[in-house]
């Protein structure tokens, strides 16, 4: 049912892998999680300070490595990023306060839909989920206009600062990504109008989970992000998994690092050179997990399409057609989260019969 929060640790944990009495299959089929998760340290690391302030040869090397990270993984860690640790902590703590508020103080935003600027909910979009995912979330549109729940009182100021600092970082990364594609630093930003970008912050809260036969549950199923570029950090509890080379990898952060996640709009604008990476959140254990997401995208009315420089002059190899970002986001957010299925609305359908 829309707008209900998860049962929390003091409540009895509902049974999993079966029908809960509200007709939803509860939390997860753990068979969906699979066994292929590998904990490894191969996730690329990008030093933001070198990217911005390094000597020419160091910068060039860092840009090449960034390009490889985007091409091979669509996922990397960024270190020396300049976003103060105290600000990250303040953001995490304030959002934790929000999840702990009495239900009636969150009710105003719990009936919200995918395009509402403030939304508090459970699962992904519980109206369509079918399966109940082990996740509570707060989503707020923070740029160009800051939307924020009235409580906790501190949230507005903290979110404003966090949004501004992470936006600045993401826009600088966009420049470096543009260079890594062999384009001018400003080209991708110009093509997508990122000077007036759209930004969302998401706080995810995954309560302790000890249900199911193996004590593992699905917090958020496999998906790619609908935006351009996402920054994420967590509260010290692992659970983010990333798909790479056909296997799931547990993402373990370096101290202080952000994860950077390539989104669908990067895949479209780069004509598929850099792909939106599949990722998911798995839960299990006595500790609540939280993650904090900051995502930039083009403004809602921008039609996103591949930059011509990355498409052959005769149009051969054009992977995507232009899609208005608002339509893309609404489509992805209103349907069941299903891997990268949303991208199909932008994919150029090839006539395979003609080649025969
Ligand atoms: O909680 C996580 O680590 C993943 C969250 C996520 O992918 C999202 O909010 O889009
Ligand atoms: Fe995501």
Among protein residues, the one whose CA lies closest to atom 8 of ligand 1 = 293
Distance 166 CA to ligand 2 centre (A): 16
55 CA to middle of ligand 1, Å?
Answer: 35
The pLDDT, as a whole number, for residue 128 is: 62
What is the number of the ligand closest to the CA of 280? 1
| C-alpha pair distances (Å), 247 with each of 21, 37, 250 | 34, 7, 10
- Which residue in the block uniquely carries the two structure tokens 């957010």? 333
Measured between alpha carbons, how far is residue 318 from residues 41, 129, 305, 321 in Å? Answer: 35, 33, 10, 8
Phi, psi dihedral angles at 342 (to 5 degrees): -60, -30
Please tell me the distance from the alpha carbon of residue 84 to that of residue 301, in angstroms, as a whole number: 32
pLDDT in tens, 54-112: 999 999 999 999 999 999 999 999 999 999 999 999 999 999 999 999 999 998 998 78
ipTM over 0.95: yes
Asked if residue 302 has its Cβ within 6 Å of ligand 1, the reply is no
User: Helix or strand or coil: residue 345?
Assistant: helix
pTM, entire model: 0.90
Residue 80's Cβ-count burial label (10 Å; 0-12, 13-18, 19+) is middle
134, 222, 293, 337: residue to mutate for ligand 1 pocket, most atoms within 8 A of CB:
293
Cα of 314 to ligand 2 centre, how many Å?
35
pLDDT of residue 354: 52
Q: Indicate if ligand 1 lies below 6 Å from the C-beta of 204.
A: yes
> Using CA atoms, how far apart are residues 181 and 118, in angstroms rounded to an integer?
35
Mean pLDDT over 43-52 rounds to 96
Helix and strand totals (H; E) in the chain: 9, 17
Tens digits of residue pLDDT in 278-297: 999 999 999 999 999 999 99
User: Does the beta carbon of 279 sit less than 6 angstroms from any atom of ligand 1?
Assistant: yes
Mean pLDDT computed over 339-349: 90
- pLDDT greater than 50 at residue 2: no
Q: Residue 132: is its pLDDT beyond 80?
A: no
Whose Cα sits closest to atom 7 in ligand 1?
Answer: 280
Q: Sketch the domain layout of the chain as residue ranges.
A: 41-345
DSSP-assigned letter for residue 339: B
- According to CATH, the topology of domain 41-345 is Jelly Rolls (2.60.120)
Structure-block tokens of residue 92 = 């995490």
Q: Ligand nearest 240 Cα, by number?
A: 1
Phi, psi of 344 (to 5 degrees): -60, -25
Which has more pLDDT, 162 or 209? Answer: 162
**Candidate from 235, 279, 290, 292 with most ligand 1 atoms within 8 A of CB, to mutate:** 279
CB 348 within 8 A of CB 320: yes
pLDDT at position 216 is 86
Is the N-terminal amide bond of 158 cis, ω within 30° of 0?
no
Ligand 1 centre distance from Cα of residue 310 (Å): 30
Give the C-alpha separation, 80 to 60, whole Å.
17
For 154-167, write each residue's pLDDT tens digit: 999 999 999 999 99
Q: Supply the mean pLDDT for the chain.
A: 87
**113 against 32, higher pLDDT:** 113
Residue 230 phi, psi dihedral angles, 5° rounding: -120, 140
Cα 107 from Cα 3, distance rounded (Å): 7
């Amino acid at each position: 049912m829309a707008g209900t929060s998860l049962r929390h640790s003091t409540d009895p944990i509902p049974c999993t892998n079966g029908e809960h009495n509200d007709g939803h299959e509860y939390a997860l089929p753990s068979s969906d999680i699979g066994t292929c998760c590998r904990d490894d340290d191969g996730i690329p690391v990008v030093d933001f300070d070198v990217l911005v302030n390094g000597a020419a040869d160091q910068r060039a090397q860092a840009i090449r490595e960034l390009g490889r990270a985007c091409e091979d993984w669509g996922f990397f860690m960024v270190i020396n990023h300049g976003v103060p640790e105290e600000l990250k902590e303040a953001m995490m703590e304030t959002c934790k306060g929000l999840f702990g508020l009495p239900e009636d103080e969150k009710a105003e935003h719990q009936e919200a839909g995918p395009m509402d600027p403030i939304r508090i909910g459970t699962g992904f979009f519980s109206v369509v989920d079918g399966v109940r995912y082990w996740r509570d979330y707060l989503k707020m549109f923070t740029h160009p206009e800051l939307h924020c729940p009235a409580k906790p009182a501190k949230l507005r100021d903290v979110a404003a600062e966090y949004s501004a600092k992470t936006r600045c970082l993401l826009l600088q990364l966009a420049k470096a990504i543009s260079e890594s594609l062999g384009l001018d630093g400003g080209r991708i930003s110009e093509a997508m109008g990122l000077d007036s970008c759209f930004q969302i912050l998401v706080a995810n809260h995954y309560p302790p989970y000890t249900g199911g036969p193996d004590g593992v549950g699905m917090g958020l199923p496999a998906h790619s992000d609908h935006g351009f570029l996402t920054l994420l950090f967590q509260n010290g509890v692992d659970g983010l998994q990333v798909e790479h080379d056909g296997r799931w990898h547990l993402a373990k952060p370096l101290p202080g690092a952000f994860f950077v996640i390539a989104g669908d709009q990067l895949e479209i604008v780069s004509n598929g050179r850099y792909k939106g990476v599949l990722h998911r959140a798995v839960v299990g254990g006595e500790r609540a997990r939280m993650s904090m997401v900051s995502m930039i995208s083009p403004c809602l009315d921008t039609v996103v399409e591949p930059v011509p420089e990355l498409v052959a002059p005769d149009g051969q190899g054009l992977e995507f057609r232009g899609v208005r970002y608002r339509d893309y986001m609404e489509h992805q957010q209103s349907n069941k989260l299903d891997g990268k299925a949303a991208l199909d609305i932008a994919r150029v359908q090839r006539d395979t019969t003609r080649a025969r």
